[in-house]
A and B are shown apart, each in its own frame.
Chain A
């Protein structure tokens, strides 16, 4: 039998976990096996997958972003207010925030700061800005956005189409382009990238800006789905995105990332929630059961790694 490459093996586990959960959902609720069933199950997949990809780009340079959730919330607030009334100003605000992210990358690389603490500080800043933009829950989705996110393409629900599209784009961007090689190289061995003549400062700035772009897409699509926003709309994305990246086969250090895995990981976490509802797990225990599923999948991964090391 031909051996799978380690990367393929890494991807195999999240995919298997996803398929297993999906099968279980279908067994419990055969009705879910339809266009509408998929539509409801994966409605929120796109923003979660995009936030997970944003986190993954940061993790590719060995950093961790504790402000993703508040940043996505901020973007959502801007989308539901400025993008409706003053689109030009709204896009400028979002563009400026990408600049802030790139600046963070520069400062972190230049002064060798711990990214966890800097992004921790930024999470306060984004939360404050979100409250200033939208003091009370509300706002509306721009009509073009609500229309686009409400579109029902033939054959497959929009969420699935977009998830596949996002996974392919992220794969091309991070695994097949020279930008991706540079970013992952900084995570793998920063010194060797520097010795080879690249600017690691620039690489980090690019990584952070790329992450900001993914996070902006996440916030905008989220508003498109929810049709309004509030300053706390995406706070749980910070932890969900970290879990999704790890679930999808990424690592904390060494620039080892897997964009397709991250998207699948995010969708698996989303599906776990529906699965537990269908099992009629009391809502009290749902978060706990999600934690247990996370632990189980990671446990299986360790087991597989050990088998691989032995064989």
Chain B
């Protein structure tokens, strides 16, 4: 396979192009600042996107709509538990992750036991989770522990700490997907569920693990996002529903499942952030910005489809 045929390349090319156009507007004044902001915000999209990618790889109809609600609940509960105390950071993180595990298992029980299509099952659980988050939050705005706030807004070697975390998770996801039996099983199920079952793959176990993985990553992202933004808000997950799906698809993962693309998620996440900042830099108003974002998503999908058929 030549470099040009690699699907992840295009999201990177697009991100780089938008980056250059944005810098041109400021004649290079804010290059480093923009790059750092892009890496920080892309990190959040990458973390939820990785989880969503595993789920989408499982095949048609597999999408986790509970991602935003899980983010909100884990951020809210963890911050409330830690109560600004540095000593409670580790248990707080564990609580956030435990919420992710519980949500993932809950989702799968509905999908399996009630045979509800995943979209509806995760939609129904997201209602329940959102309610739990509202009940816990009650308009409180608890700050994260000082140490955690400092870490999540800090830099190491000039790169935001959050981007390092996302990078480590990305490498782990790539290894998991490409180099382990579990990853190959996900792809096999996505390509053909009956064939995977005939081949003796433990379909149910693999699918449970995938839904749990997605919820855990969403919970982790919620935890980090609430620390980064100085507190949990009830609507903080809202934009990440569309974002998590968009970065996966723009990144070159097949929407029909069975074929995922890890490096593309980074390109797509940077691209999505940079498009908005480019339009901001050029002084477009909110409405025009939204329209342009939508048209660009569609254009990328169209370009990607041309690549596949040719």
Contact = CB atoms under 8 A, between A and B. Distances in A.
Interface of A: 64, 66, 107, 111-114, 116-118, 120-132, 135, 239, 242-243, 246, 252-253, 282, 284-292, 294-295, 298-299, 302
A252 B295 CA distance: 26
Given A117-B245, A123-B294, A298 B120 contact: yes
B71 interface: no
B297 A289 contact: no
B124 to A, nearest CB: 4
Interface string B276-298: 00000000011111111111111
Given A116-B245, A120-B245, 10 more contacts: A117-B301, A124-B290, A128-B289, A128-B290, A239-B123, A242-B120, A284-B135, A287-B128, A288-B128, A302-B115
- The 3 A-B pairs of least Cβ separation, nearest first, read A288-B131, A291-B127, A124-B294
B256 A294 contact: no
A252 B60 CA distance: 10
A190 to B, nearest CB: 14
Contacts of A285: 131, 135
B236 interface: no
A124 B128 contact: no
Contacts of B292: 128
Between A107, A112, A114, A122, the greatest number of chain B beta carbons within 10 A of the residue's beta carbon is seen for A114
A118 B286 CA distance: 21
Contacts of A246: 117, 120
**What is the size category of the interface that chain B forms with chain A?**
35 or more
If over half of A's interface residues share one DSSP class (helix, strand or loop), that class is named, otherwise mixed; here it is: helix
B94 to A, nearest CB: 24
B304 to A, nearest CB: 9
B127 A290 contact: yes
A294 B129 CA distance: 14
A280 to B, nearest CB: 15
Interface string B116-138: 11011101111111111011001
B305 interface: yes
A125 B116 contact: no
B297 A114 contact: no
A291 B120 contact: no
Contacts of A130: 287
Contacts of A302: 114-116
B119 A252 contact: yes
Given A113-B302, A129-B287, A131-B286, A124 B293 contact: yes
